[in-house]
């Protein structure tokens, strides 16, 4: 089991009011899963994704990631885990605008002090994997939305993470482009065995997921996990 969440709760203080974003969530994610967390805005899916990704801490409960209880580790000590074991894909792409596609993909390897020759080989391999070798020198503002998301996917995969977290990865794409992006992610999941967890309200993503977990008002709806044909 790659991820185990037990009785996860998350509350925020807004003025004088405590807002409970998650309430008693239990979830197991196996290695190689292609899983979607689905639900309307405010259901808690992005909050849950941020907790799995060690970007935030739960108010209660336990998260075990690859055998490590990350809830027992201070956030500042999880930087290496975020860098080495996790990849992130965002709906707004989150590319660095002044860097080329090549440089955006290379950036996580620079942070990890990967030697130059290895960096170059890995960046070129992943740009080729996502079909953007010819756009390596172009900046994000010279690329289409689908191309920018492909750069983001290459950046997420270049460090060869165990887990990729994708927050609404198709939200800013037209339906045809979104279908191509989902095809690519499914291909990478099958070929590399990388685990993917999506937060989404897109029916197309839900249909492509191997497992579907529905959230409502911070709780897992029952049945908790549905197998998608």
Return the DSSP state at 49. Answer: H
Confidence at residue 227, expressed as pLDDT on a 0 to 100 scale: 55
Looking at residues 57-73, what average pLDDT do you find?
96
Query: At residue 41, does pLDDT exceed 90?
Result: no
Q: Give me the percent of the chain exceeding a pLDDT of 90.
A: 88
Confidence at residue 229, expressed as pLDDT on a 0 to 100 scale: 46
Contact indicator for 105, 87 with CB cutoff of 8 Å: no
Query: At residue 223, does pLDDT exceed 60?
Result: no
pLDDT bracket for residue 222 (50, 70, 90)? low
Full-model pTM? 0.93
Residue 17: strand, helix, or coil: strand
- Sheet of 60-65: strand order equals 17-29, 3-14, 60-65, 68-69
| Pairing of β 60-65 and β 34-38 | unpaired
Q: Give me the domains of the chain, ranges plus CATH numbers.
A: 33-57+76-227 (3.40.50.300)
Q: Give me the percent of the chain exceeding a pLDDT of 70.
A: 97
Backbone angles phi, psi at 84, to 5 degrees: -100, -30
Query: At residue 130, does pLDDT exceed 70?
Result: yes
Average pLDDT, the chain: 94
């Amino acid at each position: 089991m790659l991820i185990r969440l037990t009785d996860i709760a998350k509350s925020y203080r807004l003025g004088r009011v405590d807002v409970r974003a998650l309430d008693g969530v239990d979830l197991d994610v196996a290695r190689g899963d292609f899983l979607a967390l689905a639900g309307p805005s405010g259901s808690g899916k992005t909050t849950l994704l941020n907790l799995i990704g060690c970007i935030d801490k739960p108010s209660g409960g336990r998260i075990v990631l690859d055998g490590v209880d990350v809830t027992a580790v201070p956030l500042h000590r999880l930087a290496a885990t975020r860098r080495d074991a996790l990849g992130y894909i965002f709906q707004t792409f989150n590319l660095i605008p002044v860097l080329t596609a090549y440089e955006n993909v290379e950036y996580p390897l620079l942070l990890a002090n990967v030697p130059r020759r290895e960096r170059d080989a890995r960046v070129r391999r992943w740009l080729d994997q996502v079909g953007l070798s010819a756009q390596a020198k172009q900046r994000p503002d010279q690329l289409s939305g689908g191309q920018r998301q492909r750069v983001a996917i290459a950046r997420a995969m270049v460090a060869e993470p165990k887990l990729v977290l994708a927050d609404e990865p198709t939200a800013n794409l037209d339906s045809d482009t979104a279908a191509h992006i989902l095809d690519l992610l499914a291909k990478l999941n099958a070929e590399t065995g990388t685990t993917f967890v999506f937060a989404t309200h897109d029916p197309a993503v839900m249909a492509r997921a191997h497992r579907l977990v529905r959230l409502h008002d911070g709780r897992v709806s029952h049945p908790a996990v549905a197998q998608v044909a």
